[in-house]
C-alpha cells in the first residue's frame, strides 16, 4: 500500500512532468494546425511547406498539415488566410507575388501589410531560366536573338498574374527588348508539364521544380536571376552576367498569419518556425532543392515586405506592366 504522503508526492511529480508539455502548446490551439500554400502540390512552395510541417509536427507535438489552395498566382490562398480564424490554427507560406507584387496589379481582396501578420522569412532564393531542348537555343544570347527574329512567337510560363515568375518574364522582355507572350498557370508543377511538352518556350523556375529535369537533360538551364551566382548552380551565369546588366528578380517565401492573431501566438509561431528552419536536416533538404532558408524576426520580415512592395510598385509603373 502507498501511503497518503507518498501518493501526494507521486501526483506532484507527475504534474511537474506535464507542465513543460502544457506550456509547449499554451499559445496554440490543441487541434490540427495548417500551413496553407497558394500553389498546386508538387511545386517548390508545396515541397518547402511539407518539409517544415513535418519538423513542426515533431517539435510541437501537434499535427501540422499542408493545405493547397492554388489559383490566381497564390492570391486565393492569401485572401483565405487573411480571413481565417486568428487563433493560431492556420498560417500561410506566403510568396513574393501576392505579398508585394499582385496588390499593385489586381484587386486581391486583402491588404498584405494589414490583413496578414508577419511570422518569419522562410526562404530567399534566385530562380533559374530554363527552356526545352526543342527550342534550339543553348545560351541567353541565342535565346534573345531568337526572340528578336520571331516577335510574339515565344511564350513564357508563370505561376500566375503578379507572381515572381510573371514579373521576371516582364522584366526580361523589357530589358532584352523582346516581345514574348505570358501564359499563367496555377503553380510551378503544371507550368513545368507544359514546358517539358514544348507548349511554352521559357520558364523562370525554382530549382526544386526544374532541377531533376535539368539533371536528366530534359531542360536546358541558361541563367539564374540573382545578382550573384546561385550556390546550387555555381557554373551557370546570372542574367546580369549574360548581358542584361542589373537584372535581378529573386524569389522568396515567408510565413504569415491572419492579421488579428494575438501577439503571443505570433511570437510562438516565430520561435517554432525558426527552430524548424534551423534544424540541420530541414536546412539541408531545402538547400538541396535550391530553397535557401533565411529565418528572422517578425519585425525584419515586416520591413522586408514593405521594401519589396515599394520596389515592385515602382517597377510596375516604370515598365508599364499590366495584369491584362
| Three-state SS annotation for 178-213 | CCCEEEECCCHHHHHHHHHCCCCCEEEECHHHHHHH
Half-sphere exposure of 22 (CA within 13 A, CB side): 6
Yes or no: say if 77 and 218 are a contact pair by the CB < 8 Å rule.
no
Query: What is the CATH number for 165?
Result: 3.40.190.10
Confidence category of residue 246, pLDDT binned at 50, 70, 90:
very high
% residues pLDDT > 70 (the chain): 92
- Establish if 141 belongs to a structural domain: yes
Q: Do 50 and 198 sit in the same domain of this protein?
A: no
pLDDT of residue 181: 95
Nearest to 224 by CA among 198, 248, 254: 248
Q: Do 138 and 214 sit in the same domain of this protein?
A: yes
Query: What is the CATH number for 274?
Result: 3.40.190.150
Q: What are residue 252's DSSP bridge partners? A: 124
Query: What predicted TM-score, i.e. pTM, was given to this entire model?
Result: 0.79
Q: Do 192 and 137 sit in the same domain of this protein?
A: yes
pLDDT of residue 7: 52
pLDDT, tens digit, for every residue of 175-202? Answer: 999 999 999 998 888 999 999 999 999 9
- Establish if 61 belongs to a structural domain: yes
> What is the C-alpha to C-alpha distance for residues 168 and 185, in angstroms, rounded to an integer?
15
| Residue ranges in 198-297 assigned as alpha helix (H) | 207-215, 263-277, 280-288
Q: Do 112 and 133 sit in the same domain of this protein?
A: no
Q: What are residue 221's DSSP bridge partners? A: 130
Q: Do 157 and 84 sit in the same domain of this protein?
A: no
Q: Do 114 and 261 sit in the same domain of this protein?
A: yes
pLDDT, tens digit, for every residue of 281-323? Answer: 999 999 988 899 999 999 999 999 999 999 889 888 877 887 7
| pLDDT exceeds cutoff 70 at 23 | no
> What is the C-alpha to C-alpha distance for residues 179 and 150, in angstroms, rounded to an integer?
8
Phi, psi of 157 (to 5 degrees): -90, 160
| Kind and range of the H or E run holding 104 | none
Q: Do 104 and 137 sit in the same domain of this protein?
A: no
For helices 44-60 and 263-277, the axis angle rounded to 10 degrees is: 110
Q: In the chain, how many domains are there?
A: 2
Q: Do 65 and 135 sit in the same domain of this protein?
A: no
Residue 157: helix, strand or coil by DSSP?
strand
Q: Do 134 and 179 sit in the same domain of this protein?
A: yes
Yes or no: say if 117 and 257 are a contact pair by the CB < 8 Å rule.
yes
pLDDT, tens digit, for every residue of 197-218? Answer: 999 999 999 888 899 999 999 9
- Establish if 324 belongs to a structural domain: no
Range of the domain at 181: 128-224
Residue 27: helix, strand or coil by DSSP?
coil
- Establish if 195 belongs to a structural domain: yes
| pLDDT exceeds cutoff 90 at 5 | no
> What is the C-alpha to C-alpha distance for residues 157 and 199, in angstroms, rounded to an integer?
10
Q: How far is CA 135 from CA 156, 218, 306, in A?
A: 12, 12, 39
- Establish if 1 belongs to a structural domain: no
Q: Do 33 and 111 sit in the same domain of this protein?
A: yes
- Establish if 244 belongs to a structural domain: no
| pLDDT exceeds cutoff 90 at 147 | yes
Q: Do 63 and 104 sit in the same domain of this protein?
A: yes
- Establish if 11 belongs to a structural domain: no
- Establish if 219 belongs to a structural domain: yes
Query: Which cell is 94 given?
Result: 506566403
Q: Do 170 and 145 sit in the same domain of this protein?
A: yes
Amino acid at each position: 500500500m502507498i501511503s497518503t504522503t507518498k501518493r501526494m508526492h507521486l501526483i506532484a511529480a507527475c504534474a511537474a512532468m506535464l507542465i513543460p508539455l502544457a506550456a509547449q502548446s499554451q499559445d496554440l490551439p490543441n487541434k490540427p494546425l495548417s500551413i496553407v500554400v497558394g500553389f498546386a502540390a508538387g511545386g517548390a512552395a508545396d515541397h518547402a511547406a511539407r518539409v517544415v510541417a513535418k519538423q513542426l509536427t515533431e517539435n510541437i507535438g501537434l499535427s501540422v498539415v499542408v493545405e493547397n489552395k492554388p489559383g490566381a498566382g497564390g492570391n486565393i490562398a492569401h485572401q483565405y488566410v487573411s480571413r481565417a480564424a486568428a487563433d493560431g490554427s492556420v498560417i500561410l507560406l506566403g510568396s513574393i507575388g501576392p505579398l508585394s507584387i499582385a496588390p499593385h496589379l489586381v484587386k486581391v481582396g486583402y491588404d498584405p501589410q494589414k490583413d496578414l501578420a508577419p511570422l518569419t522569412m522562410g526562404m530567399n532564393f534566385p530562380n533559374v531560366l530554363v527552356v526545352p531542348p526543342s527550342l534550339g537555343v543553348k545560351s541567353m544570347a541565342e535565346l534573345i536573338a531568337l526572340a528578336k527574329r520571331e516577335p510574339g512567337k515565344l511564350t513564357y510560363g508563370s505561376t500566375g498574374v503578379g507572381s515572381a515568375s510573371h514579373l521576371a518574364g516582364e522584366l526580361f522582355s523589357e530589358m532584352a527588348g523582346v516581345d514574348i507572350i505570358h501564359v499563367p498557370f496555377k503553380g510551378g508543377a503544371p507550368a513545368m508539364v507544359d514546358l517539358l511538352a514544348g507548349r511554352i518556350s521559357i520558364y523562370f523556375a525554382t530549382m526544386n521544380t526544374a532541377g531533376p529535369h535539368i539533371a536528366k537533360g530534359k531542360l536546358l538551364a541558361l541563367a539564374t536571376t540573382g545578382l550573384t551566382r546561385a550556390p546550387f548552380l555555381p557554373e551557370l551565369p546570372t542574367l546580369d552576367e549574360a548581358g542584361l546588366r542589373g537584372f535581378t528578380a529573386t524569389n522568396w517565401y515567408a510565413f504569415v498569419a491572419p492579421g488579428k492573431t494575438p501577439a503571443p501566438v505570433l511570437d510562438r509561431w516565430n520561435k517554432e518556425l525558426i527552430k524548424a528552419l534551423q534544424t540541420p536536416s530541414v536546412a539541408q533538404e531545402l538547400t538541396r532543392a535550391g530553397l535557401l532558408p533565411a529565418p528572422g524576426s517578425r519585425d525584419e520580415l515586416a520591413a522586408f515586405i514593405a521594401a519589396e512592395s515599394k520596389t515592385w510598385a515602382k517597377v510596375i509603373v516604370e515598365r508599364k506592366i499590366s495584369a491584362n
